[in-house]
Structures are given as structure tokens and as C-alpha cells.
């Protein structure tokens, strides 16, 4: 697809990808895919409770953006945030254990699938209230600005989130204060069961950014290198003090909104077209063309990652449940 942009070129040059980088990007997408597939399997086995929101089909966004962030950047996301967490190095066993509600979970089993947080990795939080995370990321952006060390604050959200007030207030404040915030919109065309055309005046959400005079770019969210490049450019601007950017990644979720949703409200042709543009397959083909990969090599990576997730999930499933008698709720609630 052709990307729209209102980006003015940043002064800082974007680091071009090396072959090693490309393979790392591929592997990260595979990792996220296999993690989510394992979550799905675990859910059906009754290991994951309540609900969970998977991101198969959107891996290029998490992998491509995640490759840009520094260790000291801040990243905020939503209930559909497993990919963003993995891209930033969240321990998979800890992630599975959290989904399974075990003591070894990244949040001790207290948070759950919708609230994976790991502040030590700059993963500032998963917000379950649509739009709720954006103002928080604006605050992390103020921190980044005040620290003066070129940090940035990135925040992920969906197309549906651009309809709620918190989005508006966050965008406006970030622009007025020239904060180093990247607003990364994963436009997967649906908010739950409702297609974007029923909730938004248009489908290209880059137009939202016009209302804030914010630097903006729309990219093919299933093209990991395109995502990387757009993010790197916006990040360079942010780190250089040139303010926030809005990055719209056009993408699609392969599965339903959450685990109980068969997604029957989608046009099969639309689904088919997007499945044909599976970000993993696209990149595999691109890397094979570049001679960085063969089908066999790709399969090997997939098998490795599948085994890795499977092992992590098994370790997690063997971990103990929190002990209702000894858990220190006071310490969980107050520092």
C-alpha cells in the first residue's frame, strides 16, 4: 500500500537496517505470533482465565516499533499488548504465568492478561479502559522531556480509541508541550465488532492528527521495515526536541476481538485479503528474496520460537497459585 504522510523530515538520520537487524525483526514477529498461538492453546486448555486479546496479524507493528526504542524509553499499551511487551523483552515465562494467574507472573498473577506491566523494562502499563493509557504516556513524555536525555514515550492504541476524549486531550497536550511522545495507532479497522466506518468519519486516521497540527505518518502496518522506518524517523524527531508524532499503522487482527468472539461480522473477502498480507509471510518472502532466509531457515526459526513459547508456557503452568493466606495485599496496594 502507499503510505500517506505529513511528516517533515527530521534532522537526525535514521539508522539503516543491517542484515542481522532484519533477521532479528523476523524472529521477533515469529516470537509474538507463537506466543499468541500458545496463549490461544492455553486458553482452550483452561489455563488462561476470563478473557484475552490476541494480536496475530499485527506483529509487524510491535516488532517494527519495538526495534526503535531505547532501553530507557517508556512504552504504554492496551489489553492487546502482549506483542509490545515481548518486543521490549518481557520474559515470556513471566508473561504466561501472569496470564495463568500464577505467583511467578510479571504482576504476581494479580494483574492478568489485560494488565501486563514491567516498569523495569520501561513497560509502563497495559490499560484496559480504551484511551486510558494515552494521558499516562503523556506524563511519561513529560518525564522524558524533563530528564533531557533524549528519551521518548510511546503509546499504542487502536482505531476505536481515537473516538474517546482521552485521546484528544493527550494529543493536544503533547503537541502544545512539544513532548517526545509517539502516538502509535494500530488501525485494524475494528473496535470490537464495529467497523471503523460506523464510528469514525473516515478510515485513514492520519486525518485525526490534522486537528492537532501534529507530525503524522501512515504506514503499511504489515510491513515491518516500513513500520521501523516511520517510527525511527518520528523517534529521531522526538529525541531532538521536535515534538510528538502520530503514526498510523494499517493492519488487521486475524482473530476475533477477544477469546469469545468468532468475528463473524467481518466480510470474508476482507479477511481473505488481509490474511494474504500476513506480515510474517510478507517479511519471510522479502528476506528470502534478499537471500537472508530460506523457507527451511524460516521454518527452523518458527520451530525454535514455537518450542521456546511452549517451554515457557509449560514452566508457567507448573508455577504455584498465589497463596490467599500469605499474599501481602497491603504491600501490593501501597508503597
User: Which is closer to Mg ion, CB of 106 or CB of 189?
Assistant: 189
Single out the segment in contact with ligand TPP by CB under 6 A; choices: 145-153, 160-168, 230-238, 324-332: 160-168
Q: What are the residues binding a second copy (CB under 8 A)?
A: 163-169, 172, 175-176, 198-202, 207-214
**Minimum separation from the CB atom of position 162 to Mg ion (A):** 9
Q: Where are the beta strands (DSSP E) in 46-196?
A: 74-78, 123-127, 153-158, 181-187, 190-191, 194-195
- Burial string for 212-247 (b: 16+ CB within 10 Å, else e) reads bebbbbbbbbbbbbbbbbbbbbbbbbbbeebbbbbb
Is residue 188 involved in binding Mg ion (CB under 5 A)? yes
Answer with the entry of Mg ion, another protein, a second copy, none that 236 interacts with (C-beta below 5 to 8 A by kind).
none
Q: Which of 160, 244, 256, 279 forms a contact with ligand TPP (CB under 6 A)?
A: 160
Could you please report the per-residue DSSP string of 255-266? Answer: S-SSTT---TTS
Question: What are the cell numbers at 152?
Answer: 521518548
- Burial string for 182-193 (b: 16+ CB within 10 Å, else e) reads bbbbbbbbbbee
Cell 510474517 locates to 280
Binding mask 236-275 for Mg ion (x = CB under 5 A): ----------------------------------------
User: Judged by CB under 6 A, how many residues of this single chain contact ligand TPP?
Assistant: 16
Nearest to 113 by CA among 57, 50, 28, 158: 50
Q: Which of 11, 20, 149, 198 forms a contact with another protein (CB under 8 A)?
A: 198
Give the SS3 label for residue 193. Answer: coil
Cell 524509553 locates to 73
Are the C-beta atoms of 67 and 83 separated by less than 8 Å?
Answer: no
Is residue 246 involved in binding another protein (CB under 8 A)? no
Q: Which of 36, 159, 220, 305 forms a contact with ligand TPP (CB under 6 A)?
A: 159
Is residue 139 involved in binding another protein (CB under 8 A)? yes
**Minimum separation from the CB atom of position 264 to another protein (A):** 9
Are the C-beta atoms of 55 and 157 separated by less than 8 Å?
Answer: no
**Minimum separation from the CB atom of position 142 to another protein (A):** 6
Residues 165-194 close enough to bind ligand TPP by CB under 6 A: 186, 188, 190-192
Could you please report the per-residue DSSP string of 114-135? Answer: GG--BGGGTEEEEE-STTTHHH
Answer with the entry of a second copy, another protein, ligand TPP, none that 6 interacts with (C-beta below 5 to 8 A by kind).
none
Q: Which residues bind Mg ion (CB under 5 A)?
A: 158-160, 188, 190-191
Amino acid at each position: 500500500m502507499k503510505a500517506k504522510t505529513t511528516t517533515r523530515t527530521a534532522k537526525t538520520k535514521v539508522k539503516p537496517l543491517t542484515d542481522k537487524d532484519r533477521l532479528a525483526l523476523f524472529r521477533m514477529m515469529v516470537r509474538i505470533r507463537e506466543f499468541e498461538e500458545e496463549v490461544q492453546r492455553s486458553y482452550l486448555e483452561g489455563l488462561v482465565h476470563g478473557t484475552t486479546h490476541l494480536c496475530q496479524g499485527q506483529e509487524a507493528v510491535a516488532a517494527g516499533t519495538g526495534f526503535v526504542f531505547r532501553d530507557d524509553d517508556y512504552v504504554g499499551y492496551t489489553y492487546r499488548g502482549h506483542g509490545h511487551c515481548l518486543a521490549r523483552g518481557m520474559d515470556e515465562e513471566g508473561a504466561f504465568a501472569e496470564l495463568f494467574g500464577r505467583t511467578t507472573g510479571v504482576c504476581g498473577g494479580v494483574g492478568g492478561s489485560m494488565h501486563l506491566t514491567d516498569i523495569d523494562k520501561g513497560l509502563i502499563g497495559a490499560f484496559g479502559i480504551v484511551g486510558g493509557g494515552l494521558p499516562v504516556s503523556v506524563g511519561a513524555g513529560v518525564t522524558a522531556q524533563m530528564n533531557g536525555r533524549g528519551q521518548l514515550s510511546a503509546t499504542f492504541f487502536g482505531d476505536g480509541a481515537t473516538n474517546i476524549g482521552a485521546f484528544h486531550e493527550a494529543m493536544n497536550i503533547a503537541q502544545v508541550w512539544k513532548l517526545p511522545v509517539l502516538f502509535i495507532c494500530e488501525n485494524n479497522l475494528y473496535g470490537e465488532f464495529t467497523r471503523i466506518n460506523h464510528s469514525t468519519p473516515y478510515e485513514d486516521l492520519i486525518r485525526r492528527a490534522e486537528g492537532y497540527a501534529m507530525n503524522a505518518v501512515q504506514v503499511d502496518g504489515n510491513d515491518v521495515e516500513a513500520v521501523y522506518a516511520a517510527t525511527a524517523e518520528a523517534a529521531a524527531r522526538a529525541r531532538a526536541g521536535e515534538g510528538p508524532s502520530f503514526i498510523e499503522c494499517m493492519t488487521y487482527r486475524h482473530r476475533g476481538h477477544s477469546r469469545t468472539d468468532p468475528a463473524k461480522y467481518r466480510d470474508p473477502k476482507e479477511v481473505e485479503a488481509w490474511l494474504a498480507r500476513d506480515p510474517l509471510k510478507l517479511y519471510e518472502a522479502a528476506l528470502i528474496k534478499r537471500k537472508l532466509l530460506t523457507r527451511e531457515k524460516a521454518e527452523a526459526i518458527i520451530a525454535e520460537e514455537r518450542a521456546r513459547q511452549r517451554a515457557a508456557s509449560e514452566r508457567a503452568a507448573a508455577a504455584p497459585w498465589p497463596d490467599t493466606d500469605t499474599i501481602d495485599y497491603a504491600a501490593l496496594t501501597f508503597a
